[in-house]
Amino acid sequence: MAEKETENKSRLNRHRGDFKWHGIKTRRYKLQGGDWAHVIRRVIIGHKGESAKFHLRYFEISPGGYTSLEKHRHEHVVICVRGKGKVRTENKMNTMNYLDTLYIAPLAPHQLRNPYDEPFGFFCIVNARRDKPRPLK
């Protein structure tokens, strides 16, 4: 469930190390569906009453894990901040390294994977109001 504060206030989300922030809960990537594995998310901005038109989330894919192959009308900005990973956008496969930044266009099929031995962590910025992903298989 989304956590809400009653007021939109400025706040510092202090980093605690190991890509965790004070007051930010670790959650499963998605609440349902079986087309992904070994992914967690942390919503840093977007679930505590902010009026921002965007959400900032941190995702981490463990070795061997992957996100859903999906598409949707909203766009993403993905910034690699830990390890490296593979990203499929449309019909291309690329490797993302530290601070590589990826723009995923609306309706572009995409999936992120971690075939490496270390966690693949990335910030993901999305519209605050967005449509539900459509799985592709």
In this predicted model, what pLDDT tens digit does every residue of 82-134 receive, in sequence order?
A: 999 999 998 899 999 999 999 999 999 999 999 999 999 999 999 999 999 88
Residue in 124, 125, 128, 136 annotated catalytic: 124
Is 124 one of the annotated active-site residues of the chain? yes
Size (the chain), residues:
137
Q: Is the pLDDT of residue 31 over 70?
A: no
Domains of the chain (ranges; CATH) run 27-129 (2.60.120.10)
Residues 64 and 37 sit within 8 Å (Cβ to Cβ): yes
The CA distance from 70 to 135, in Å, is 4
Q: Which residue has the higher pLDDT, 33 or 72?
A: 72
Residues 35 and 69 sit within 8 Å (Cβ to Cβ): yes
Mean pLDDT of all residues in 10-34:
85
The CA distance from 126 to 116, in Å, is 26
Rg from Cα positions in the chain: 15
